[in-house]
Amino acid sequence: MKNIYGETLKELEQYFIDKNEGKFKATQVFEWLYKKRVKTFQDMKNVSLKTINDLTNDFSIEPLEIITKKTDIDVSKYLFKLSDNNKIEAVLMNHDYGNSLCISTQVGCNMGCHFCESGRLKKVRNLEASEMVRQILAVEEDLNIRISHIVLMGIGEPFDNYDNVISFVDIVNTPKGIDIGSRHITISTCGLIPKIEEFMNYDKQVNLAISLHAPNNKIRNSIMKINKAYPLEKLIPTVKRYVDKTKRRVTFEYIMLKGINDSVDNAIELSKLLKDINCYVNLIPYNETSHIEYKKSSKDQILKFYDTLKKNGINVTIRREFGSKVKAACGQLRSNYEEAQNEV
């Protein structure tokens, strides 16, 4: 049975049209779900008994189960259990501009980036749109807050689950729904070129982030398997076409790995690679994990890298470090939880 939180407003309108009822009922249901946050269909007070019975027969309305939560300064990390007992994570970060939630889009990941904890578990399945939406609802209810920004950068490759991700964006962006502005939503990809090309034609002003992490093919091949399928000489021109067509700035994510991609020469090479692209680079201090040998670059080295990009005309920021005490790196909380369960 489908979960109601996976239905877009247009899909619910068609649902009621197919039942020979007014499509306005879809708006009523959306408002009960996302504005008044009812937990059962029976709590929808201005909806007919027939509609309630139809919804009950055709949809489930169960929330995600929170298995555990870990908190640190300005960060809360959640581990959820899905209906099939698979587990996913989401991370809430408190910024001066609002509350940002990093959500998962798949159970596991097939991209195999060597520095990424979530990639140690191969993809089990895609998340449904409802499972992405309910990550937001669960965190908002637990902390009694409103989430203002969404980043699809948790477990999984969003563009490997493209259709469900687009449905998710449509649901959370709808004014009658959760109503998160499209410019407050960021989708990250490691470089699936066919989907970047498809995303160029998407009609919402959602932000695109490219997980780059290297200034040349040699380094990127050594840490990111995807580069062998879509090397930089194909990826960068695609990004340029995206920027030209959408008129939107793109973000390049760059995890700083000690002795791998963090030298001044690497920064100079990166500057040349990204020259004349409307972009900014987000330098990310690596969140170390016991299962992977990579180490975090020193603060001094990160600053040298930052200064070199600046001097070469690249817009660059250093991401504030969140949650090293709560295993905030993608996939860490799930991995540690399952290891602990196996030891029992």
Q: For 111-120, give one letter per residue: b (16+ CB within 10 A) or e.
A: bebebbbbbe
281 and 157: one domain? Answer: yes
Given phi > 0 = left and psi -120 to 50 = alpha, else beta, which region is 148?
A: alpha
Is the pLDDT at 344 greater than 50? The verdict is no
Given this model, what pLDDT does residue 342 score? 46
Domain end marker among 60, 75, 107: 60
Domain CATH for 42? 1.10.150.530
| pLDDT band for position 339 (cuts 50, 70, 90) | very low
> What's the rounded Cα separation, in Å, for the pair 319 and 270?
18
242 and 229: one domain? Answer: yes
135-178: pLDDT as tens digits: 999 999 999 999 999 999 999 999 999 999 999 999 999 999 99
Given this model, what pLDDT does residue 51 score? 96
CA distances (Å), 157 to each of 90, 97, 122, 171, 342, in order? 14, 26, 11, 19, 27
Beta bridge partners of 151: 102, 186
| Strand, helix or coil for residue 327 | coil
310 and 211: one domain? Answer: yes
| pLDDT band for position 323 (cuts 50, 70, 90) | low
DSSP one-letter code for 42: G
Of all residues in the chain, the percent with pLDDT exceeding 90 is 88
- Return the higher-pLDDT residue of 323 and 342: 323
56-71: pLDDT as tens digits: 999 999 999 999 999 9
Residues 6+ apart with CB under 8 A from 146: 99, 140
Domain end marker among 60, 79, 107: 60
Residues 6+ apart with CB under 8 A from 297: 256, 257, 258, 262, 285, 286, 305
Q: Is the dihedral of CA 297, 299, 302, 308 positive or negative?
A: negative
Q: In which domain, by residue range, is 33 found?
A: 2-60
104 and 47: one domain? Answer: no
288 and 179: one domain? Answer: yes
269-285: pLDDT as tens digits: 999 999 999 999 999 99
Beta bridge partners of 286: none
**End-to-end distance of the chain based on CA atoms, in angstroms?**
34
49 and 69: one domain? Answer: no
Given this model, what pLDDT does residue 224 score? 97
Structure tokens at 3: 């979960």
Report the Cα 7 to chain-centroid distance in Å: 19
Average pLDDT over residues 295-318: 97
Residues 6+ apart with CB under 8 A from 163: none
Q: Which of 102, 113, 116, 330 is catalytic?
A: 330
215 and 104: one domain? Answer: yes
Beta bridge partners of 256: 285
200 and 248: one domain? Answer: yes
Count of the separate structural domains present in the chain: 2
> What's the rounded Cα separation, in Å, for the pair 132 and 48?
29
> What's the rounded Cα separation, in Å, for the pair 15 and 55?
10
276 and 184: one domain? Answer: yes
Report the Cα 198 to chain-centroid distance in Å: 18
Domain CATH for 297? 3.20.20.70
183-234: pLDDT as tens digits: 999 999 999 999 999 999 999 999 999 999 999 999 999 999 999 999 999 9
| pLDDT band for position 321 (cuts 50, 70, 90) | confident
* Burial (0-12, 13-18, 19+ Cβ within 10 Å), 343: exposed
215 and 305: one domain? Answer: yes
Contacts 24+ apart (CB under 8 A), 296-301: 296/256, 296/257, 296/258, 297/256, 297/257, 297/258, 297/262, 298/258, 301/256, 301/258, 301/262
| pLDDT band for position 334 (cuts 50, 70, 90) | low
* DSSP alpha helix (H) spans, 206-320: 217-223, 226-229, 232-246, 264-273, 299-311
Domain end marker among 60, 75, 92: 60
248-304: pLDDT as tens digits: 999 999 999 999 999 999 999 999 999 999 999 999 999 888 678 899 999 999 999
Q: Which of 89, 131, 157, 253 is catalytic?
A: 89
CA distances (Å), 229 to each of 125, 219, 221, 232, 250, in order? 22, 15, 10, 10, 21
Q: What is the mean pLDDT of the chain?
A: 93
Average pLDDT over residues 39-46: 96
Residues 6+ apart with CB under 8 A from 208: 186, 187, 189, 196, 199, 242, 248, 250, 251
Can 89 be counted among the known catalytic residues?
yes
CA within 13 Å, CB half, 144:
0
